[in-house]
Amino acid sequence: MNVILIDDHALFRIGLESILERRGVNVIASLGDGEEGIRLTQEQKPDIVLLDMRMPLLSGTQVLEKLRNDNSEIPVVMLTTSNEETDLIESLRNGAQGYLLKDMDPDELVTALHDVMRGKTIVAPELTNVLAKVVQQGDSGREDKSGTFAELTPREHEILCHLAEGQSNKVIARNLGISDGTVKLHVKAILRKLDVHSRVEAAVIAVEQHLCDKSSKIN
């Protein structure tokens, strides 16, 4: 696994690089400048970018947004001290594949990175309740959700269930025998119909509403 680490705190960055290297993770670049991090990510094409939230000049979310605007699909995992729900939601809405806290166990971090490599979206266990609460609050204005879910086509429902399992577009495409582009179109339609901004929010709704318990397979 090849990783680029972007964090403006040099001592933390150097220590984490050593920890990851000892656990078989190849840190191909470690730096504290967001713009340079973007350039190296585009040039080196790592498997994962580990990105701090609070940085001077460009914040972590700004770096993430620039990468996504450049159509980069390289997984980005936020690694931060912030447990603020606004930071969590903003990161996920901007396309982060993970949101982890810096006080986590090093072995758990490496496990999470491998999960991201397998196409999962990972959120620090301490923050899953925060995410669920935000989604529930966002849905509180809807008197009847059944009509919203009824708008999903059978294929969209099927893909939503795959999202609920944390699968990436590529994994979903492979499992369903369709193209990545087709999956992307379905995901966009799902987000629009559920009136949410990220695949993680859609996944949480699916779990909360037990949408995939009733019909795990849809023809």
What confidence score (pLDDT) does residue 110 get? 93
The more confident residue out of 85 and 174 is 174
Q: Is the pLDDT of residue 4 over 60?
A: yes
Q: What percent of the chain has pLDDT over 70?
A: 87
Q: Tell me the C-alpha to C-alpha distance, in Å, between residue 184 and each of 6, 133, 172.
A: 28, 26, 10
CA distance 126 to 102: 12
Exposed (0-12), middle (13-18) or buried (19+): which is 146, by Cβ within 10 Å?
A: exposed
Q: Tell me the C-alpha to C-alpha distance, in Å, between residue 172 and each of 10, 71, 119, 176, 202.
A: 38, 19, 9, 6, 15
Q: Is the pLDDT of residue 139 over 60?
A: no
What confidence score (pLDDT) does residue 217 get? 38
The more confident residue out of 168 and 75 is 75
Does the pTM surpass 0.85? The reply is no
Most confident of the following: 33-37, 71-75, 85-89, 165-169: 33-37
What confidence score (pLDDT) does residue 83 get? 84
Whether the Cβ atoms of residue 190 and residue 160 lie closer than 8 Å to each other:
yes
Helix (H, G, I), strand (E, B) or coil at 37: helix
Q: How many CA atoms lie within 13 A of 213 on its CB side?
A: 6
Question: Which is it for the CA torsion 69, 48, 96, 155, positive or negative?
Answer: positive
| Size (the chain), residues | 219
Q: Is the pLDDT of residue 141 over 60?
A: no
CA distance 8 to 56: 8
What confidence score (pLDDT) does residue 87 get? 85
Query: Tokens 């699909």 map to which residue?
Result: 73
Question: Lowest mean pLDDT: which of 108-117, 151-160, 189-198?
Answer: 189-198
Neighbours of 2 (CB within 10 A): 13
CA distance 86 to 103: 19
Conformation bin of residue 210: beta by default, left when phi > 0, alpha when psi is -120 to 50: left
List the domains of the chain with CATH numbers.
2-125 (3.40.50.2300), 142-208 (1.10.10.10)
What confidence score (pLDDT) does residue 143 get? 42
Q: Is the pLDDT of residue 51 over 90?
A: yes
